[in-house]
Amino acid sequence: NRQLIALFICLISLKYCFEKNLRKFLCCIIVAILFHSTSIIFILAYIITSRKIGNKYIVYGVLVALLIGISGIINKIPYLDLLVYLDAKSSEKLSFYSNNDISNYSYLGTVKRLMILVPCLFLRLKIKNEKFDTFVKLYVMGCLIYFVFNGSMLQLMAGRGALYFSIFEMLVIPI
């Protein structure tokens, strides 16, 4: 699967985030994009890893994302008007994903992520480890994407982008 190869390359690029080596990080991302275009979203990882983000801001972000997702406001945005600005391939994919209506909000998926996220936020305060902190912040990014687009017509497409961050779930659970 091309996306999994891109994901693997993105995970390798994380080494350069820790080293603060933007050039090597971007080289990895460019290679990942050659396999799957959704990997461009992982550029956010460099920004996230270089910032200190407190639990208070994470909680605010999660609450806003949950409100957006549960309210269904994403489905009211006339994103189909954006099709004119996209290339043919992207336009076709967006149209396909939006026609596969998944308009039911998944509370089970939300609860599952919150059951992992909440303990991680408490552990962040106790475990003073840069890598664990980074993994939690990256997992939060995946949760935010999931919460905002859960139940929307773009849920499938957003899920592909969230995968690059949701993968950190397996790194924060064992700790």
Q: What b-and-e string marks burial along 131-169, b requiring 16 or more CB atoms within 10 Å of the CB? A: ebbbbbbbbbbbbbbbbbbbbbbbbebbbbbbbbbbbbb
Summary mean pLDDT of the chain? 85
Which of 51-55, 81-85, 126-130, 145-149 is predicted least confidently?
81-85
18-28 per-position pLDDT tens digit: 999 999 999 99
Closest CA to 72 of 97, 101, 100: 101
Which of 20-24, 35-39, 51-55, 106-110 is predicted least confidently?
106-110
Whole-prediction pTM? 0.84
